[in-house]
Every structure is written in structure tokens, then in C-alpha cells.
């Protein structure tokens, strides 16, 4: 028989126009939310100042209590605004390969107080993740500083499993009760903003990673970041060795 060639032509111009329209709409929403946050923060600054002046000019204990409650409400608004900023950035950029040791060095240098012993042993591990991966470790460090109470040391290590790699973050503080181990990752749960660990889980989830708390109450917190195959690699000199 005669040889035949079959060609398929597909018009993707409509899909391209749709994608461009979505990108344009997303840019406008991003700009709107940024401007709105800026305006709200300006109003909050004015509100804080007026509350402070009112507190200084009254000797009525009942009024002072009301002003204190207003300050607490204003701070809650500020924290919500900060959360919208962080959450807006999640998934806003393409995932990329990131050197974990470099990230941890920056986080430790910026957040770890002198009284807290911090060590990180992740060799040359690189992780394919959202660019906000650094924020994950900032939030874990912040969790220790805020809630560890008796914590004097933080240790970050890693190991490999049959299904991928695990990065372990642990401290020797008071730990987390068994009843709270899952809900600490829910939005709004916690003694302060309640958003740090929620953001951490969302950032990791973009590239298929997950996080869980496996520490023993009274002995310290222990967070395990589970990295599936294909999402990590090892840097050897100028060569990167893929998983497997």
C-alpha cells in the first residue's frame, strides 16, 4: 500500500488569549491587594497613635481597659493583613531547585539568638520547591522561639527513605501535646497569629511535599518534611546527582 502521513493541526490561539487574560487579571488583583494592604496599614498606624494618646490622657481604669482591648483588636487586624501578604505570594512564582544548606544558613543568621545552639546537617541537598521555602524554616524557627519556652538547642538533619528524603527539624523545648499535633497546621490555630505553620504546609504542598509533627511532649518539637522522589537531588562538586 501507499505510505500515508497524517497531520493534526490544533488552533491554540483561543487558549493563549484566555491564559493572557487570566494573567492580566491576576496582576490586577495582586496590585489591588497590595495597595489595599498599604492603605489599611496606614490607617492602623494612625489608630495605634490615637489609642496611645487616649490612654495617656485618661486615669479611668475602665476606659484604659477598653483602650487595651482596642489595641488587641488592631493588632489582630495587622496580623491578618500580614497573613494575606504571605499567602498571596504562595505559588506566585515557578518552583525551582534550591540549596537547603544555603537557606538554613540565612535563616539561622537572621533569627537564632546567641543563647540558642543551632546546628544544620543537610550536606549538599537540593530541593525542588516554591521560592518561599525559606519562609517555611523561618516559621519553624519562630515556632521554637515563641513556644519552645525551655528550648536551648535546635538541630536540623536529613535522611533518605525508599520513597524520598526527609528533612527533620527538632528542638529540646516543651514539645507539642499529642492532641495538638495535627491542628497546629490549621489556619488561625495557635497562641499568636496562628498562620505560620499553615503557610509552611501550603508552601510545601505546592511541589508535593508534606510536613508532620512527631515529637514527644515534654522532650521537644520534631517536624518532619517529607520530600517525594524526583523533588530532591544531591550536589557533588559541579555535578548534581538525581535521586535514585
For 143-176, the pLDDT digits (tens) are 898 888 899 999 999 999 999 999 999 999 999 9
Domain for residue 72, yes or no? yes
Better-predicted residue by pLDDT, 118 or 8 = 118
Do residues 214 and 105 share a domain?
Answer: yes
Domain for residue 7, yes or no? no
**With bands split at pLDDT 50, 70 and 90, how would you rate the model's confidence at 117?**
very high
Do residues 138 and 161 share a domain?
Answer: yes
Do residues 146 and 55 share a domain?
Answer: no
State how far the Cα of 85 lies from the Cα of 89, in Å rounded to an integer: 7
C-alpha pair distances (Å), 3 with each of 6, 7, 8, 53: 10, 13, 17, 89
Domain boundary residue among 70, 89, 108?
89
Domain boundary residue among 64, 89, 114?
89
Residue 53, pLDDT above cutoff 80: yes
Of 21-25, 59-63, 118-122, which range is least confident? Answer: 21-25
Domain for residue 203, yes or no? yes
Domain for residue 109, yes or no? yes
Do residues 162 and 106 share a domain?
Answer: yes
Domain boundary residue among 89, 106, 137?
89
Domain for residue 2, yes or no? no
Domain for residue 6, yes or no? no
Do residues 41 and 105 share a domain?
Answer: no
pLDDT of residue 37: 76
Residue 56, pLDDT above cutoff 80: yes
Do residues 130 and 192 share a domain?
Answer: yes
Domain for residue 3, yes or no? no
Q: Is the pTM of this model over 0.95?
A: no
pLDDT of residue 21: 74
pLDDT digits (tens, 9 = 90+) for 15-52: 777 777 766 766 776 667 777 777 888 888 888 898 88
Residue 9, pLDDT above cutoff 70: no
Domain for residue 48, yes or no? yes
pLDDT of residue 242: 56
Do residues 84 and 134 share a domain?
Answer: no
Residue 240, pLDDT above cutoff 70: no
Do residues 114 and 232 share a domain?
Answer: yes
Q: What is the CATH number of the domain that holds 142?
A: 3.30.565.10
Of 79-93, 141-155, 226-240, which range is least confident? Answer: 79-93
pLDDT of residue 81: 78
Q: Which residues pair with 170 in a beta bridge?
A: 155, 222
Q: What residues make up the domain containing 57?
A: 13-89
How many structural domains compose the chain? Answer: 2
Do residues 180 and 119 share a domain?
Answer: yes
3-class DSSP string for 74-143: HHHHHHHHHHHHHHHHCCCCCCEEEEHHHHHHHHHHHHCCCCCEEEECCCCEEEEECCCHHHHHHHHHHH
Do residues 101 and 213 share a domain?
Answer: yes
State how far the Cα of 152 lies from the Cα of 62, in Å rounded to an integer: 41
Q: Residue 238, Cβ neighbours under 10 Å: how many?
A: 5
Do residues 114 and 228 share a domain?
Answer: yes
Residue 220, pLDDT above cutoff 90: yes
Better-predicted residue by pLDDT, 5 or 74 = 74
Do residues 160 and 48 share a domain?
Answer: no
Amino acid at each position: 500500500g501507499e505510505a500515508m502521513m497524517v497531520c493534526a493541526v490544533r488552533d491554540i490561539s483561543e487558549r493563549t488569549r484566555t491564559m493572557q487574560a487570566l494573567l492580566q487579571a491576576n496582576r490586577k488583583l495582586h496590585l489591588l491587594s497590595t495597595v489595599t494592604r498599604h492603605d489599611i496599614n496606614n490607617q492602623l498606624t494612625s489608630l495605634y497613635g490615637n489609642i496611645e494618646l487616649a490612654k495617656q490622657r485618661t486615669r479611668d481604669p475602665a476606659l484604659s481597659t477598653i483602650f487595651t482591648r482596642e489595641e488587641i483588636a488592631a493588632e489582630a487586624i495587622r496580623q491578618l493583613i500580614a497573613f494575606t501578604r504571605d499567602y498571596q505570594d504562595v505559588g506566585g512564582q515557578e518552583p525551582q531547585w534550591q540549596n537547603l544548606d544555603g537557606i538554613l544558613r540565612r535563616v539561622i543568621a537572621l533569627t537564632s539568638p546567641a543563647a540558642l545552639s543551632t546546628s544544620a546537617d543537610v550536606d549538599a541537598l537540593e530541593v525542588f520547591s516554591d521560592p518561599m521555602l525559606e519562609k517555611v524554616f523561618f516559621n519553624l524557627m519562630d515556632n521554637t522561639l515563641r513556644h519552645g519556652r525551655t528550648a536551648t538547642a535546635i538541630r536540623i538533619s536529613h535522611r533518605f527513605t525508599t520513597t524520598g528524603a526527609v528533612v527533620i527539624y527538632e528542638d529540646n523545648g516543651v514539645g507539642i501535646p499529642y492532641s495538638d499535633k495535627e491542628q497546629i497546621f490549621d489556619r488561625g490555630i495557635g497562641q499568636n497569629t496562628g498562620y505560620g505553620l499553615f503557610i509552611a504546609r501550603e508552601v510545601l504542598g505546592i511541589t508535593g511535599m508534606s510536613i508532620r509533627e512527631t515529637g514527644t511532649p515534654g522532650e521537644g518539637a520534631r517536624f518532619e518534611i517529607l520530600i517525594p522522589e524526583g523533588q530532591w537531588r544531591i550536589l557533588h562538586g559541579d555535578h548534581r546527582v538525581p535521586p535514585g
